Amino acid sequence: VLPGRICAFLVLGFLGNTLVLIGLLGFDYDELHRSLFRVYPLIAYALFAVWVALGLQRCLAFCATRFAGRVAPGMFTAAAAAVLVGGTWLAHLPGNNRHADRWAEVYGRTVLESLPPGARFYGNADTVDGPIAYLHRVLGVRPDITFVTGTSLPVAGVLYRPYAMATKELEALIVRYVRFEARPMFYTSGFPQPFAQDDYGLYFGVNTDAAPDSYRTVDSPRIQQYFQMLDGIPLPGDTWESIHYRRMRQDQCRWTVGRAQGGLPRDAAALPPACQGLQGRLWLADQLRATGGSAADVILNWLPDDRALLAQATSRAEVTHYYSLRAWARQESTGTPDAANGAGM
């Protein structure tokens, strides 16, 4: 029997890392945050493993006593070890066998290889910074470019932290950074700037020659090849990769619509393949709503009351956005709020 203080430590350690952690974090437990915070309960997992090991020890001791003389010593221990190790290996092999997984590498190489010589690139997300930084700084891919992130931005010999700056302050800093060197500037997100915007699909380019509010879609054969690859593959099984895949499809939808420069079909089934997902439809609905006119009925067609479509959401914010657009469209179309909005929220 374990001493009481050890039992109390194991129980309190387990509860302290779960219940207290949940209260402190206070985040929405959606797909994105499940992936982001899944490392936090590691202490609880370790303490739970200790409890399992103690229970298994008692069971093995009982079996050794009960079947003494009939089963060779150590046989139960060897059998239990084989079942635990073998079962764990078989259960997790499909998820951990990543020898042919090139998702992050293909994305990173596409971005780096599509940039012009001497470009500067600003990344502001783990799914962007990780693969690009590894390929660029560790493997030496595209040594001619300068890659910076939201954690550190050097301007005129001074290192700044964009994450810690207010939007207006950051915009002023970015203007200085863009004008500091006569080199092309590209970025993904979290990069407030007053210049014209060129949309390359996977990222945007700063255009200092055009009118500040102008926007254009730029063809890139390398990025178009990447988007064609997305058209032919299923949703990745890894959670982070599936989230990134959905975001890339939204980028592809935006880029495809920009290149088409034409009207969009009112029927959701006739939308471009890249726009069929929830993320693409949300972006389209935002653009259509901003133009005014008879947008409500079209948005209701694009965003039906469909749980399968809503299940594609990667964050609670997307769920809220979905119901908000439906409520607005329902109000505009019939004068009554969307009945599903209250239930879904």
Output the six-digit token pair for 125: 């997300």
One-letter amino acid of 21: L
According to DSSP, the residues that pair with 148 across neighbouring strands are 122
125 three-state secondary structure: coil
For CA atoms 85, 90, 91, 96, the dihedral sign is positive
pLDDT of residue 338: 59
pLDDT of residue 137: 95
- Greatest Cα pair distance in the chain: 90
Output the six-digit token pair for 335: 């004068």
One-letter amino acid of 132: I
pLDDT of residue 103: 93
For CA atoms 7, 12, 17, 18, the dihedral sign is positive
For each successive 10 residues of the chain (345 residues), what is the average pLDDT?
A: 75 74 64 67 82 87 85 85 91 84 94 97 89 96 95 90 91 93 92 95 95 93 96 88 94 93 82 94 93 84 94 91 94 71 46
pLDDT of residue 345: 41
pLDDT of residue 343: 45
What φ, ψ does residue 165 adopt, rounded to 5°? -110, 145
Measured distance CA(272)–CA(28) in Å, rounded:
31
What φ, ψ does residue 337 adopt, rounded to 5°? -70, 160
According to DSSP, the residues that pair with 196 across neighbouring strands are 207
Checking 44-47 for CB contacts under 8 A at 24+ apart, the result is: 44/13, 44/14, 44/17, 44/18, 47/10, 47/13, 47/14, 47/17
pLDDT of residue 344: 44
- DSSP conformation class of 138: I
Measured distance CA(187)–CA(246) in Å, rounded:
19
Rounded to a whole number of angstroms, the distance between the first and last alpha carbons of the chain is: 49
Measured distance CA(118)–CA(185) in Å, rounded:
9
Sheet holding 146-149, edge to edge: 146-149, 120-123, 185-187, 204-207, 196-199, 215-217
Measured distance CA(308)–CA(11) in Å, rounded:
40
Measured distance CA(250)–CA(271) in Å, rounded:
13
pLDDT of residue 22: 67
